[in-house]
Structure 1
Amino acid sequence: MTWIYYFSLFWTLAAAILPPKYRSLGLPLIVAGVVLPWLIILTAKLVGWRLVRTTSARKNAILATTTREEEAYHEKERVLPKSEDADWVEVEKNPAGTAPNGGQAPDDWDGIVGFLHPFCNAGGGGERVLWAAIKATQKCWPKAICVIYTGDHDAAKSTILERVSQRFNIHLHPPKVIFLYLQTRHWVLSSTWPHFTLLGQSLGSLIMAYDAFSLLVPDIFIDTMGYSFTLSLSKRLFPKIPTGAYVHYPTISTDMLDSLHAEAGKGVNAGTGKGFRGFVKRQYWHAYASLYRSSGGDVDVVMTNSSWTQAHIQALWGAKRTKRRKPHSVEVVFPPVAVEKLEQAIDLEGPKAIPREIVLLYVAQFRPEKNHDLILRAFARMLRQEIKGAKLVLVGSVRDDDDSKKVYALRLLVHDLKIENNVEFACDASWPEVLEWLQKSWIGVNGMWNEHFGIGVVEYQAAGLICVVNDSGGPRADIVVDFDGGPTGYHASTESEYATRFAEALSMSEEATIEMRKRARASSKRFTEETFAMKWVEQLGKLIDIQQAASK
């Protein structure tokens, strides 16, 4: 409770320096300074106690519903045994997993894990992590109930689970999955906060979290979208409920703060710290970073998707977590990637291997931070100086009007660079179309500065492409690294570096090319769904241990 000490000290000093005519107010102010922080803490606990009481009926209803659905599910499977999910059969036959420390996993744990993921039906990489985490939870703790707090009111439970099955090939056990629908998701949209967006969205997440707790107070609360302020709120309301965070990227980072300086800036905010407005922005970002540091200190178990994210989270949250005596270190849990499926679909050698074309493939949404402009300029430079006849294919989704405008601007740039015959746009391509490009392309490109992980880069490797990625973030630190005694791709930062690396990748001998493709595919096995599941179970087991110790 360090903040109570400093608050009381500040209040006491303020009372001590009052002018003489107000000196009689000094003692009441000192008493208020000591009492007020404790009153705030007590009020939060009382609110939490009331939430537990008011949601207990819904909790009992959920338990009863899952019991009925479980019975109906097994009755259906008794009549139609072929429809049973193979993974769930394995759980039923041998529900006890093996704990990471060598002991027996507490498979009989039957608590409720609450996942805050208000956009769970979006179908992106973050959602793959969510559903893979729930699948791993179900396989190790089949009696546990997974509750997802979502704002996707337009999708019923069956619709969401069907999409999960089709989009990610992840089959969940329906009776143990519960969706609770939030009414306040709009508070975390950037459009709701046109100014001071970072702070506004974080404050909005508190409103959304209170909405979630008003629906149900879980036994374990996990944020899987980066709303760390909600974990602080949970700790204030329910001190004994363990909290976990899976962090895809820090809301603010030291790199972001550094990027404001004109001389060293990179990224979409590069150089915006100049002048008076820049000064205000710097002060605002540093103040927000202080709040963000404090929120991270309340999380019991922290997972990050890459070592780059881990380093930034440790730099931001580490001191607070140490001060608050959090025993578990920040752990890297790589996102699950469908590596095996790409390996099965794409042969690197043999009669079934599709001949590679001189195609550079960039799979990324059409957003400013993806740096398509840099890649187009580098590609144009390579065509002028080195290899003729190459083709650059830009694959990405167009979600809104801003994305459409970005594509239009890129098409204008292609025209200005006079490379219209060598560039193809594949907007909103289906997975079969993407798979076809992965099969026949030569190079996989990543242009984003400080990409927090890079699932697309892992997919390049699994598909056997030669990777040319930005010399930063997760692609540099975790993915395109030396493996089995040799490189798995190239790094670049500037237009000239990219052009040179493109040319080098296309000019390697056939033997060197196939060896690099094999190393890259072997390296991609570090990011399989199975590896993710093992790490997730290890971290969730820590939260269950905390919950069981607190409930004794």
Structure 2
Amino acid sequence: MSSDCSICSSITTILYLIPLLFALFVIPFRLISDTRRKSKTVAFFHPYCNAGGGGERVLWAAIRTMQKKFPDRKFYVYSGDTDATKEQILLKARQRFGIELDPTNVHFIYLHWRTLVEARHYPHFTMLFQALAGLVLSLEAWIRMVPEIFIDSMGYPLSLPTFRLAGSKVVAYVHYPTISCDMLDVVESRQQTFNNSSTIAQSNFLSWAKLAYYRLFACLYWLAGKTAHVVMVNGSWTQRHITAIWSRRDVSIVYPPCDVEEFMKIESVAERILEEKKTVRLLSVGQIRPEKNHKLQLEVLHDIKEPLKKKGYNVELCIAGGCRNEEDEQRVKTLKKEAKELGIEKELRFELNIPYENLIDELSKALISIHTMHNEHFGISVVEAMAASTVILSNDSGGPKMDIVKDFDGKCVGYLSITREEYAETVLKIVDEGRSQRDKIREQARKSLSRFSDSAFETHWNKQFENVL
């Protein structure tokens, strides 16, 4: 009996504490926010705005279209790139993406605690600690300015309730769910992947503990997702997971802006290089992150080197990747070491943080674009490669499978593979099938890309943004 009374007493105490905590923290937080909120302001929470990846293209394209559509609004970016000036950041946006912004109406609020969200600080429980660090970083953002409209465009879920409690209208553009149904399935089925080590996969207890941790985090993620007024995602794969995990039916697909028109202007010389120099050029575009699986690309390069040599061809792979920090630089060193061990260092070349003009040049020379990330959320680089007349070879999963590399009008637009063997076989098939067939694929691929254009993005983005005006 005394035990039951003790439990009841504890529950009662907790119930009394909830309104007390609400009164002590939430109400003052909201009152202070109300006095500090700047009217007609739109702020993007994008701590790595100078990274030069697909997420940054969305950021700059969104600001560009809103500068034109809503000139009375003032636009801000919460940036952790304290080593770069406003002019340097905007210059990189122009050089990397060809996006010109009105510099008089975009302002940067620098965040000095960005280091807290870097994964290197959290070798264990990385996802949880990064989310909590994102909360701390969003509080720094709140200290520096409270906007009328807050947009998380980089995926820090706990920034959403922070600014919802502050009275801002909250928008989430989700590139990739922090936790997904697939991640839960991987742990539950005890598969070994880059984020589920063999030690955990082979242990009953560790797999059970990690699954419990993932499920608890999924509950936290669900609560955060509920606080957004508007939710946009970049494709069908992300929509499926966010709809399930956030239990929302108002998740809208807004495909990332791909400069389809500009990339279609590229004059491909890949066939001439193949014919005259007997060289098969492969190109991989993407940030140097573990999930991009560049190691698989090296293995494929190794596997096709000798078969192509027997056919009279040389082969080259150029990895054009964004390098954000020391961790990425270390990955490049590791990849170079692996390439040497595989005997392909002469066939491999890195173009890190490649400028826009140089990327255009690389695309013009590439016969095949290779993409190896499993469950890529969308794949801007896949769209750009197809527009530039390279034959795409992407992973048979995620956005490329569901939205991009699928038959158009019943005709092939590119190829999908999963395993090392499939990738190697498909590269050899593309080379063997001849120019006539490759040209048909290129033509059909280009016809299929209008839904990913800048103009399509602008229309859909502005339509969703108007819901919070």
Q: Which has the higher contact order (CA 8 A, sep 6+)?
A: 2
| Distance in 2 between residues matched to 1:496 and 1:517, nearest whole Å | 24
- Name the structure 2 match of 1:530: 455
Matched residue, 1:78: none
1:405–1:389: structure 2 CA closer, same or farther, 3 Å change rule? farther
2:19 maps to which residue? Answer: 38
Given the superposition, is the C-alpha separation of residues 410 and 158 from structure 1 closer, same or farther in structure 2, using an over 3 Å criterion? Answer: closer
Aligned pair 1:503/2:431, yes or no?
no
Q: Give secondary structure in 2 for the equivalent of 1:312.
A: helix
1:333 is aligned to 2:314: no
Question: 1:166 & 1:186 partners in 2: Cα distance?
Answer: 26
Give the residue type in structure 2 aligned to 1:471.
D
Distance 1:114 1:526, change over 3 A: same
Which of 423, 426, 429 is 2:350 aligned to? Answer: 426
**Which residue in the other structure is 2:297 paired with?**
375
Deviation at 1:46, TM superposition (A): 2.3
Contact 1:337 1:529 in 2 (8 A): yes
The residue correspondences of 1:46-65 to structure 2 (distance < 5 A) are: 46-53=28-35, 55=36, 59=38
Task: Show CA shifts across 1:10-32 (max 9, x none).
Answer: xxxxxxx6448x67x96x76654
Once residues 266 and 314 of structure 1 are traced to their aligned partners in structure 2, the CA distance between those partners, rounded to angstroms, is 24
Task: Report how far residue 316 of structure 1 moved.
Answer: 0.6
Matches of 1:376 and 1:140 in 2, distance apart? 45
Amino acid at match of 2:18: P
Shift of 1:261: 4.8
What's the CA shift for 1:526?
A: 2.2
Identity, in percent, stands at 36
Q: Aligned in 2, Cα 1:370/1:174: closer, same or farther, shift over 3 Å? A: closer
Q: Label 1:437 to 1:354 Cα distance change in 2 as closer, same or farther (>3 A).
A: farther
- Name whichever structure is richer in strand by fraction: 2
SS in 2 for 1:228: coil
Deviations 1:226-268 (A, max 9, x none): 0111112222342xx3211001101111112222256544444
CA distance in 2, matches of 1:134, 1:503: 43
1:455-501 C-alpha deviation (Å, 9 max, x unpaired): 11111101111111111111111111111330111111112211221
Rounded Cα–Cα distance in structure 2 between residues aligned with 1:461 and 1:220: 35
| Deviation larger for 412-421 or 161-170 | 412-421
Residue among 175, 182, 185 paired with 1:258: 185
**TM-score normalised to the size of structure 2?**
0.88
230 and 144 in structure 1: CA distance in 2 versus 1, 3 angstrom threshold: same
CA contact (8 A) 2:282 2:370 kept: yes
Unaligned runs of at least 5 residues, structure 2? none
Task: Give the alignment partner of residue 245 of structure 2, picking from 309, 316, 323.
Answer: 316
Q: 1:164 to 1:369 in 2, by over 3 A?
A: closer
1:410-446 deviation digits (Å, cap 9, x = unpaired) = 445445544555x222232544443333112211111
Q: Deviations over 1:318-339 (max 9, x none)?
A: 2xx4xxxxxx710111111222
User: Per the alignment, in what secondary structure is the counterpart of residue 257 of structure 2?
Assistant: coil
Helix, strand or coil: the match of 2:377? coil
- Inter-partner Cα distance in structure 1 for 2:415 and 2:363: 18
Is residue 360–residue 390 contact of structure 1 (8 Å, CA) maintained in 2? no
Q: Computing the radius of gyration over CA atoms, which structure comes out larger, 1 or 2?
A: 1
Alignment of 1:15-414 (within 5 A): 18-19=2-3, 32-42=13-23, 43-53=25-35, 55=36, 59=38, 111-238=40-167, 241-261=168-188, 264-269=191-196, 271=198, 272-275=200-203, 276-318=205-247, 321=248, 329-346=250-267, 356=274, 357-385=279-307, 387-397=311-321, 398-400=323-325, 402-414=327-339
RMSD over equivalenced CA pairs, Å: 2.7
Per-residue deviation, 1:514: 0.8
Q: Which runs of 5+ in 1 are unaligned?
A: 1-16, 60-109, 322-327, 545-552
* Alignment TM-score, normalising by the size of structure 1: 0.76
Residue 454 (1) aligns with residue 379 (2): yes
* 2-structure distance, mates of 1:389, 1:442: 13
- Once the two structures are TM-superposed, the CA of residue 402 in structure 1 deviates from its matched residue by 4.3
